[in-house]
Structure 1
Amino acid sequence: MRFSTSPATYVIASLLAFSPFSSALRMIESSSLTPCQANSSFSATLFNVLFTPDNKTLFFNIVGVSSITGNVTAELLVIAYGYQALKEELNPCALGWQGLCPMNTGQIRLESNIPISDDVLQKVPGITYTIPDLDGKVQVFIKDANTGVSVACVEAELSNGKTVNQKGVGWATAVIAGLGLIASAITSGLGHSNTAAHIAANALSLFGYFQGQALMGMTAVPLPPIVASWTQNFQWSMGIIRIGFLQSIATWYQRATGGTPSSVLSDLATTSVSVQKRSLDVLNKLYMRAYHQLHGLTGRATGAPATGTAAVTVIHGIKRVGFTAGIELTNIFLTGYAFFVIFTVFVILVVVIFKLVCEGLVRAGRLKGDKFQDFRNGWTTVLKGILFRIVLISFTQMVVLCFWELTVRDSGAEVVLAIFTIFTMLCILVWASSKVIRLARRSIAMHKNPAYILYSDPVSLNKWGFLYVQYKATAYYFVVPVLCYLLAKGMFVALSQGSAVVQAIALVILDAVLLIVVCIIRPYMDKKTNAFNIAICIVNFISAVFLLIFTDIFNQPAIVTGIIGIIFFLLNVVFSFVLLLMVLISSIIAMFSKNPDTRYQPMRDDRGSFIKSQSQLTTELDALGATARGEEKAGYRNAKAARIEDDDDSWSSGSLERQQQQQQQQQQNRGANAPRGPSDLSVPTYPNDSGALHGPPSYRDSPSGTSSPAPGGRAASVRSDRFRTQGPTTTTTTTGPSPWQRGAGYEH
């Protein structure tokens, strides 16, 4: 029976044939042989088969263990994407296969080059040699020559040497994601806070999308080969990266702490390892499930079946990811943990070195004194904020690895390390989130706008801003549901490795809930950022639905699963390319443009009105902005007066006397540099005629009646007839809402 050549198959094959995974050499190979029948009387400890149609030869090297005696025949089946592409009856005696005519109990070794006829070559479809990560296998049924009863069955996964799992893809995605974070840090240091916030938000969302792809590869769902290979490209985001000496250190640490390292990679010559993929028929799936339960092959250690045949290890989920990356199964946790520590130390060294370099260049006169001034004056606070950001970025990775370590328990010390790490990270993020919520609520109570306190204090912004700058001011709390989503998703992946259906259903529900919430609330800073993240949520939800289909819960035909696997790959590869291109272009423009903020509209929550003034603003506008925030122009120079992050020492929660003293001190410090007239009255809070406190007055208008841009980028005009003096106390009458009550969430 020939392989089906439907129009859809030709379209998919044509798209993939022009991919960079194609090569001139055509071949089909296999290096793993597993039983496919209950009570199979033959298994292989070594299995290497290479078929080269251009040379018309089939080379094989097989070492197996048999409990069969007598003459046998073999039936060869080649199955691709659920369809039987080839069926041949083989007579070992007629072919001269020594060891199979007749078969004897004990070890059998076969090594030969067999010429293949043109008739057989024509039965293999051409797309078999071009599609990367071929979803095919060959089954061999060994039958008694006299009775025709099958006494053994073995199967091997087929590969044509082409795969979408490429190191270049992993490097490209990692470099571009890192470039976005670096560009954000540089533009922030240069004073372009709006650009930095946009690039950072998109880069973090891109990194989260990569981690979502990696999580799908870590599930226990039997994935089509092309899906498993594609998700393997993003395992770097989970710290699954092989380095030789690091593996040696991990093995030594495990032995030193009472653990027993696995030896799957070192025993490949004597142990057949089957990387779990999508099963192509129901009978095989039922058998493999019974086989695992009978012999305990889903555990970490390899073991021989009770029949005395060779050892077979079937791996899936997180083990499959580690094995494909060349990492021993017992070293997966320590490998991911080590890269988390290495990355953290590396970032600390980069920040310290950058601080020293900047100071050296300023003293040498090669860098202007106002460049990276905020960073140089408060670099320790910036470093704290960066470390908090690392905790947030690595949260998904450590949730999966730490909770998974609790189930496999490589060693006592590693279990303790996992518990300490995950609960420390949870405490840090819970504390930071609660801090942001308290600051925002205090700002709403006093100023009717959460953006006032969240963005007016540079210490709070640098330390806690990683949790809320990507959201609009009224959605400051949205980091809490996001963290809950990441925690639940990671725990299902880590703790449900024995149930693929549970994992798939959980991911569908979680991604659907997140998509609905994001579409309704639209919590991100502007329309473009919302569209960016909604698109990611949509693709993640579709991918989760595909993942559920891969579990065969709907009992769909095998060809449907194979085609959906290719669609999964095409959808995500195109979407990843678009996201990478957007982040790359934004990062390049931000680093080489003189004023990248012109590409982005001011935030509707007026955060720009509260962020510390930059040196490029005019003296009058700078004084207005500084007075409105209650801070000095120098920023960190008067950090104690501007500090509102501490609960016990902040003018937002202090007494009226403290606030009045600060106002007087600020007016004295401004002196002659501050503009005279009604603009001096724009202070955070001040008493009216009745002695009650109310919010700061509007600074839309100037005495001259001419319009000028406000610090937040809004047009401002002042009309002198709206100001009146009553004795020694001057008050102002304004029309329209205060700028502290403008922005997203306050228009209606």
Structure 2
Amino acid sequence: MLRQISSSTISLLLLVTLSGRGLADQILQTSGFSTCLGDSNITVQNLDIQYNNNAKTVTFNVAGTSATTMNVTATLNVTAYGISVYQNSFNPCADSTYVEQLCPVPSGTFSASGTQSIPSSYASMIPSIAFSVPDISAQATLELKALDTGEDVACITSSVSNGKTVSVAAVSYVAAGVAGAALIVSGAAAIGAAAGGGSTAGSGTMSPSFTEVFTWFQGIAMNGMMSVNYPTVYRSFTKNFGFSTGIIPWTAMQTSIDNFRSVTGGNLTADSVQYLQNATLVFGSGSTVSRRAYNGMLMIRDSISTSQSNATTSDATNSTSTIETTVNGIKAYVEELSVPQANTFMTVLLIVACVIAAIAVGILFFKVVLETWALFGSFPKGLVGFRKHYWGTMARAIVQLILVLYGVWVLYCIFQFTNGDSWAAKLLAGITLALFTGVLAFFTFKIWQTAKKLKAMEGDASALYENKDFWLKYSLFYDSYKKDFWWLFVPAIVYMFAKGCVLAAADGHGLTQTVAQLIIECLMLGLLIWNRPYERRSGNVINIFIQVVRALSVVCILVFVEELGIAQTTQTVTGVVLIAVQSVLTGVLAILIAVNAIIMCCKENPHRKRRKEAEKMNRDLDNLTPLDARNSLLMDPTKLNSSTTSYEHDPKAPLVKTVSEDDSFLNEPANPYSGATPMRPYTPQSQRPFTPENPFPARPFTSNSHRTLRSMDSHENLVQGAAPLGGEGGSPPQQPTIPRIPPQYGAGGGYRGVAY
């Protein structure tokens, strides 16, 4: 089959090979082995074979036991990607294929090791791409039959590896570095928020945020946990992102967890780190095997002669005893990372506890540094807010962690309930799941309740963004969304819960898992496309693209479902395409994080900017004086409206609305003449423009800035009963005279006697 793979497919396979091994020797070697015949007369306990294509040599080491002495024939069958590429039968006693230790197979213990040259006629049968394709999907099966009866006496199968794989530590480090960079960018925004007394924090409004990047890595890892028949290359690729789900190989920790389980009802006989280190993992249908300890089996090659040892060697027979265990789904994923399935939840719990402790210690250390700075130096004003909101910052960080891990936490807790054996671990799983769910439910209720009250009082929930107290408390849940879509964090939490629940509850049923996951991903994709809820256009584009890739990934995983019976070649090509798409998206996210780091220094968060503008306007109104040009009685309403920021999704309303006289601007505390009353009603004829000739014009009133004046009855009573103007004895009253005004003011009309 290797010859049948197209050159374009091979190029793609080489493109996604993330490990650089240089131009090393072209080597094929066995990697683990398992028996494929029960109750056989011959038992192989160790088999390690390595073929060097450059030297054209085979180095082997085989050991086992036989119940009787017998002559056998050997049949070797090599398959690659489900297609047989080599098959040959030979007699170990024939001159051309003589193997002394197997001619005949002795009774009792036997072992053989040595190096043998391979004729070029056999070496040319191996395609060159077999030495370059990472995680080659090839198996070799050796069957031994009795020469006289043809009865099967032994059967061994093993996977073949060329030493190249996409599962390398460097990939995990790079992925962790990308997530760390996103965390630094988001963390810088969070510290700036605390220092400024409130702004974005946690995920922020820039995309991709730490939450988006980390949940993307979690999605790749969870794709590798389904109970389907993955190609070897994709199974290895998903292992690189196990750290995002809390699965980190740590032998000392696993030993401690085993000890904890042993005293709380756990069974370590077939589920412990020691057992796993000596186990052979058989995936799915048994077509793929992997060995924890380095043991192997493959070909008793054509034309091999050996050096034999007739002595019984206990080291050769006992030190490499094998244990076979069939794995799939979540168990296969975690045990490939050297974590026993019963230890899974406790491993994640301890890792998360370490992360929370690191967050608390880090923030506390920063707090101590700031307090020391304040004692011995001039403390910068920009960090005063952080000191004030220190505990709030720590709480936000922990709640943010709960939000990020909630999906995988549901997954591991349900998996612990169904597969765990320690009552204490199950109790901890129940308590922590209830705690995490309770925290998210509490904030959901508080935000929903606050929004309901705001809508009742103000008509909308914009104050969730504009009110600093609400923003500091709750913004980590909705700060990347538009004002009209603050509620979208609720379906996001439900989405995470559903994914984890389906994956754990349907473990072992690949088709059910895949169909359910596809429905969940498509529903979330439809929600994002329909609403486009993110504040920034870039946020909508990035998150919709991520969700599209998630949905397409699940569609590709349908190809791996065994019930559908799709050819292994198609599965392998699909796996390679899936790796390429997911790798490209990961690279794009890394580039965008670097771009965001630059943008963050130049562009302010839009929600914070709008809130600051509103706060500044309120301060300006509080500082108005009667003759201040900003006073609305003098300011042109059109200019006032033009200076007000309008938002696309804000309800449209006039800047100043007509209200009752009790709400008149004249009665505002900021107006020092709030208690004054006019001597006579205002009439349009009394308004004069402001000119050098008319320096004291009457203050203009507009339809938006004045209301019906109070009744003038009280004013008329002020002169009721007063003595008449004029002379005595009925003489005509004295006529008012116009005061003498300097020439420069003569044309202005003078003082009109109207109170302000």
TM-score by length of 2: 0.75
1:221 is aligned, of 221, 228, 233, to 228
Please say if 1:243 is aligned against 2:253: no
Provide the secondary structure at the position in 2 that maps to 1:190.
Answer: helix
SS in 2 for 1:76: strand
Tell me which of 274, 279, 293 is aligned to 1:266. Answer: 274
**What residue is the counterpart of 1:596 in the other structure?**
603
Tell me whether 1:55 sits opposite 2:62 in the alignment.
Answer: no
* Range moving further from structure 2, 264-273 or 457-466: 264-273
Paired residue for 1:416? Answer: 427
Separation in structure 2 between the aligned mates of residue 374 and residue 138 of structure 1, nearest angstrom: 66
Is the 8 Å Cα contact of residues 13 and 576 (structure 2) preserved in structure 1? Answer: no
Q: Deviations over 1:510-544 (max 9, x none)?
A: 11221122211222223210111111111111111
- Which secondary structure state, in structure 1, belongs to the residue aligned with residue 59 of structure 2? strand
Deviations 1:428-487 (A, max 9, x none): 1112112212212222222222121x1234333223222111222222222222222211
Q: Deviations over 1:360-396 (max 9, x none)?
A: 3344446521x13332212222222222111111212
Query: Secondary structure of 2:156's partner?
Result: strand
Distance 2:656 2:576 in 1: 70
Which residue, out of 108, 120, 123, partners 1:121?
123
Instruction: Give 1:239's aligned amino acid.
Output: G
Distance verdict in 2 for CA 1:44–1:337, change over 3 Å = farther
Matches within 5 A, 1:211-610: 211-261=218-268, 262=270, 265-267=273-275, 271-276=279-284, 279=287, 311-365=323-377, 367-369=379-381, 371-452=382-463, 454-590=464-600, 593=601, 595-597=602-604, 602=606, 608-610=609-611
Change over 3 Å in CA distance of 1:392–1:247 after alignment to 2:
same
SS of corresponding position for 2:86: strand
- Contact between 2:14 and 2:134, CA under 8 Å: does it hold in 1? no
Q: 2:70 is matched by which residue type in structure 1?
A: G
Structure 1 residue matching 2:55: 3-state secondary structure: coil
Q: Name the amino acid aligned to 1:157.
A: S
Partners of 2:75 and 2:88 within 8 A in 1:
yes
Corresponding pairs, count:
628
Aligned counterpart for 2:206 among listed residues 196, 199, 202: 199
Which residue does 1:89 correspond to in 2? Answer: 89
Unaligned runs of 5+ residues in structure 1 are 282-308, 628-666, 683-699, 736-748
User: 2: CA distance between counterparts of 1:268 and 1:343?
Assistant: 27
1:678 and 1:727 mapped to 2: Cα distance? 24
How far has the Cα of 1:256 moved from its partner? 3.0
Match of 1:209 among 216, 223, 233: 216
Write the distance in 2 (CA, Å) between the matches of 1:19 and 1:336.
27
Q: Which has the higher contact order (CA 8 A, sep 6+)?
A: 2
How far did residue 608 of structure 1 move? 4.3
The answer to whether the 8 A contact 2:34-2:324 is kept is yes
**What amino acid sits opposite 1:322 in the alignment?**
V
1:698-747 CA-to-partner distances (Å, cap 9, x unmatched) read xx976976954759899xxx999999995882399669xxxxxxxxxxxx
Question: Is the alpha carbon distance of 1:17 and 1:223 closer, same or farther for their aligned partners in structure 2, counting shifts above 3 Å?
Answer: closer
Q: Is the 8 A contact 2:206 2:596 kept in 1?
A: yes
Q: 1:456 to 1:363 in 2, by over 3 A?
A: farther
CA positional deviation for 1:589: 4.6
Structure 2 CA distance for partners of 1:713 and 1:329, relative to 1, 3 Å? closer
CA drift at 1:73: 1.3
- In structure 2, give the amino acid aligned to 1:142: L
What do the CA deviations read for 1:279-338 (whole angstroms, capped 9, x no partner)?
489xxxxxxxxxxxxxxxxxxxxxxxxxxx964212223332333223344332211110
Structure 1 residue 247: Cα displacement: 2.5
1:676-698 alpha-carbon deviations (Å, 9 max, x no partner): 8798899xxxxxxxxxxxxxxxx
Give the AA of the match of 1:624.
M
Alignment partner of 1:32: what SS? strand
CA distance in 2, matches of 1:45, 1:674: 96
CA–CA distance in 2 between the matches of 1:108 and 1:550? 41
For 1:479 and 1:128, the matched residues in 2 are separated by: 48
Residue 25 of structure 2 contacts residue 53 of structure 2 at CA under 8 Å; is this kept in 1?
no
Match of 2:664 in 1: 729
Gaps in structure 2 of 5+ consecutive residues? 290-320, 667-701, 706-756
Contact 2:75/2:144 (8 A) holds in 1: yes
SS in 1 for 2:224: helix
CA deviation after TM superposition for structure 1 residue 21, in Å: 5.0
Q: What letter is aligned with 2:253?
A: L
| Kept in 1: contact 2:521–2:550 (CA 8 A) | yes
Quote the Cα distance in structure 1 between the aligned partners of 2:663 and 2:569: 86
Q: Does 1:8 align with 2:8?
A: yes
- The structure number with the bigger radius of gyration is 2
Q: Residues 625 and 135 of structure 1: is their aligned pair in 2 closer, same or farther, counting only changes over 3 Å?
A: farther
| Contact 1:22/1:130 (8 A) holds in 2 | no
Name the CA distance, whole Å, in 2 between partners of 1:509 and 1:720. Answer: 47
- Relative to structure 1, the CA distance from residue 625 to residue 547 in structure 2 (aligned partners, 3 Å threshold; closer, same or farther) is farther
Counterpart residue type for residue 85 of structure 2? A
Distance 2:190 2:219 in 1: 28
CA shift, 1:276, in A, is 4.8
User: SS of the residue aligned with 1:3?
Assistant: helix
Residue aligned with 2:111, SS:
strand
Conservation of the 8 A alpha-carbon contact between 2:257 and 2:346: yes
Amino acid at match of 2:334: G
Distance 1:224 1:105 in 2: 40
Q: Which runs of at least 4 in structure 1 moved beyond 6 Å after TM superposition? A: 673-682, 700-704, 711-714, 718-725, 731-735
CA RMSD of aligned residues (A): 3.7
- TM alignment of 1:105-144, pairs within 5 A: 107-144=109-146
Displacement of 1:68 in angstroms is 7.2
Distance 1:558 1:254, change over 3 A: same
What amino acid sits opposite 1:266 in the alignment?
Q
1:286 is aligned to: none
- Post-superposition Cα deviations, 1:639-681, rounded to whole Å, max 9, x if no partner, equal xxxxxxxxxxxxxxxxxxxxxxxxxxxx9xx5x5889879889
Deviations 1:101-130 (A, max 9, x none): 333565553433232221111111111111
Change (3 A) 1:727 1:485: closer
1:137 CA displacement: 1.2
Report the residue type matching 1:505 in the other structure.
V
Cα distance, 1:260 vs structure 2: 2.9
- Report if the CA contact (8 A) 1:133-1:163 is conserved: yes
Change (3 A) 1:519 1:110: farther
CA distance in 1, matches of 2:17, 2:423: 50
- Which amino acid is 2:265 matched to? G
Cα distance between partner residues in 1 of 2:127 and 2:556:
27
